[in-house]
Chains A and B, each alone.
Chain A
Amino acid sequence: MTPAISVAGLTRRYRDQVALDDVSVEIEAGSITGLLGRNGAGKTTLLRILAGQEFQSSGTVNVLGAPPAENEHVLRRMVFVREDQAYPDFKVRHALRAASWFYPNWDAGLADELIADFDLRPNKVIKKLSRGMRSALGITIGLAARAEVTLFDEPYAGLDAVARQIFYDRLLTDYAECPRTILLSTHLIDEAAALFESVVVIDRGRVVLEAAADGLRGIATTVSGPVLAVDEFTAGRPVWNRRRLGSQASVVTVGQLDEAARAKARSLGLDLMPLTLQQLVVHAAEWPASPEAANLPPQAMEGASA
């Protein structure tokens, strides 16, 4: 299957900083991918380049099989919802009407339902909307566009929990009805984790983790208990992080734990807690920038199950 998005050796240098450093990523067509990372990691720059709004310094970018920059054949099949989208002096209904002209698959019924769900008034001037309401407008455009490639950059900044749940529900419902490639960057990792079929984590402009979400479940475990027991259990296992408080220790081990390992942990009186996606991302960002770190090392998994 050809990937919907394919990026190779992508670098974006600004005068005093490297925003993206040799990024290579492939996103499967018809999947929901989380683009995760800290502030300033390069998520927005990557999305802007994918959407043809920014230019790379070097490297290649293909969206739907062709470079997106100035390529209307690609651009009109893609929608990019930005956190900081600037609008002209429009009311909500003006923005929606303009969007309906440009997106070939625009679903006006869905747009109406969404603005009703979000309580967004069509006659409100966009500049006077609250931050959350502006996010709701962006989400409405992003979903109703039904574009083959849908890019969301922090789509729900300022949205309350109820509205965020509306977004998740609507996204999944509409995705089931009308499958497409969705790439979503967010800080609310655990909240959105259930959406993702795969995740890409970038840190300081580099990809530090690219994996299927299923493969990440249980890939790392926090082992805590008495220092000696923890040391015994983790001996020979790859370890990311080691904390010690008095006689208690807490260590993050990498790799799936099989039944034997779990039984051993029980007999040693250790607590096992699988890392959440959010914790994984935090640790992924702390990894030393080694080339192998881009994907989870397979030998780590073997070591764990041996």
Chain B
Amino acid sequence: MSTLVKVARYHLVQPFQYLLLTWMVLAFTFVVNVVIFGVTPVRQHMVPTANGLVSAASMDGRYTGALCSFFIIFLVLGVQSIGRSLPFGLTLGVSRRSYYMGTALLAVVLACADGLALAALQAIERGTGGWGVQMGFFRVPYLLNGPWYQTWLTSFVGLGLLFVYGMWFGIVYRRWSLVGTLAFIAAQVTVLLGAALVITWAHGWTGVGHFFTGLTVAGLTGLLAVLAVGLLAGGHATIRRATV
């Protein structure tokens, strides 16, 4: 068994938070939303059919967006995979490099499996008229609203990205604690601010607007994947001198 697989298994030796907690939170969020949408009347709108205009249930205002809770948990899991588990991992004779790559392997596997599950749930949602209450829980306008494989791919990239981002935060916190973490956030805000200023001075906002309005979900997923790889590289450089 390679060291990276061992590290991934090390995280799963107590599988509760990685395999159960995520879905428990999602189930709770789901039930809350079913109750809310079950008591909210569905608006009707007229749709043209072969028999002329027919009144049909509208999806207007029926998308919950609550699926983001699932993605946020991945960020938290990423932080914990370093903060809670690194010291014992190093005690077990794993190098920082292997620990990091093994944890990233866990992120990829989890994001892949959970992304597929989200795609399946989305298919069920479509087939059951939004769980009988016309609710768009696993469908998110624009982002997660295409064919199942696109939903799978986009959720995979999104979940993986947040996990890896969380890992980087975990490493920064371990090395420089709270002040360092705040500085890390400040540095990111500064980079974004700098980019915004440059775009403003270059009168580039129109171009940026065109770029994003023309961006397909597949294109956005590709951009997020590039960002995830960048974050992965950043974390890798940061963990090299981490101490426990």
Query: Interface on A for B, CB 8 Å cutoff?
Result: 48, 51-55, 70-72, 75-82, 85-91, 94-95, 97-99, 101-103, 147
> Is B95 within 8 A of A99, CB to CB?
no
B88 at the interface (CB under 8 A from A): yes
The A interface, classified by DSSP as helix, strand, loop or mixed, is loop
Partner pick for A90 among B6, B13, B90, B96, CB 8 A cutoff: B13
> Is A52 within 8 A of B6, CB to CB?
no
A50 to B181, CA, bound (A): 29
Excluding A70-B96, A72-B95, A76-B93, 13 further A-B contacts by CB distance (< 8 Å) are A53-B90, A72-B98, A75-B95, A77-B93, A78-B93, A86-B88, A87-B88, A89-B14, A89-B84, A90-B88, A95-B88, A99-B92, A101-B6
A residues less than 8 Å from B87 (CB atoms): 85-87
B173 at the interface (CB under 8 A from A): no
A122 smallest CB distance to B (angstroms): 13
B residues less than 8 Å from A75 (CB atoms): 93-95
A101 to B95, CA, bound (A): 15
- In the complex where A88-B14, A89-B17 touch, is A55 in contact with B241 (Cβ < 8 A)? yes
A8 to B227, CA, bound (A): 44
> Is A102 within 8 A of B94, CB to CB?
yes
Interface string of B1-37 (1 = CB under 8 A from A): 1010010011001101100000000000000000000
> Is A101 within 8 A of B90, CB to CB?
no
B residues less than 8 Å from A79 (CB atoms): 91, 93
B residues less than 8 Å from A76 (CB atoms): 93
B142 smallest CB distance to A (angstroms): 37
> Is A85 within 8 A of B91, CB to CB?
yes
> Is A80 within 8 A of B91, CB to CB?
yes
- In the complex where A48-B243, A55-B243 touch, is A102 in contact with B93 (Cβ < 8 A)? yes
> Is B6 within 8 A of A102, CB to CB?
yes
A residues less than 8 Å from B90 (CB atoms): 51-53
Which of B6, B16, B92, B244 has the most chain A CB atoms closer than 10 A to its own CB? B92
> Is A72 within 8 A of B13, CB to CB?
no
> Is B92 within 8 A of A102, CB to CB?
yes
> Is B243 within 8 A of A101, CB to CB?
no
> Which of under 10, 10 to 19, 20 to 34, or 35 or more describes the interface residues of B?
20 to 34
A124 smallest CB distance to B (angstroms): 13
B45 at the interface (CB under 8 A from A): no
B42 smallest CB distance to A (angstroms): 43
B residues less than 8 Å from A71 (CB atoms): 95
> Is A53 within 8 A of B92, CB to CB?
no
- In the complex where A71-B95, A72-B98, A88-B88 touch, is A53 in contact with B243 (Cβ < 8 A)? yes
B9 smallest CB distance to A (angstroms): 7
A4 to B112, CA, bound (A): 44
B177 at the interface (CB under 8 A from A): no
> Is A98 within 8 A of B91, CB to CB?
no
Q: Closest residue of chain A to B87, judged by CB?
A: A86
> Is B94 within 8 A of A72, CB to CB?
yes
A184 to B11, CA, bound (A): 29
A residues less than 8 Å from B14 (CB atoms): 88-91, 94
Q: Closest residue of chain B to A72, judged by CB?
A: B95
A residues less than 8 Å from B43 (CB atoms): none
A residues less than 8 Å from B243 (CB atoms): 48, 53-55
B residues less than 8 Å from A90 (CB atoms): 13-14, 88
Q: Closest residue of chain B to A102, judged by CB?
A: B92
A70 to B99, CA, bound (A): 10
A76 to B92, CA, bound (A): 7
A94 to B9, CA, bound (A): 11
> Is B9 within 8 A of A53, CB to CB?
no
A residues less than 8 Å from B98 (CB atoms): 72
> Is B93 within 8 A of A103, CB to CB?
yes
A30 smallest CB distance to B (angstroms): 20
Which of B88, B97, B244 has the most chain A CB atoms closer than 10 A to its own CB? B88
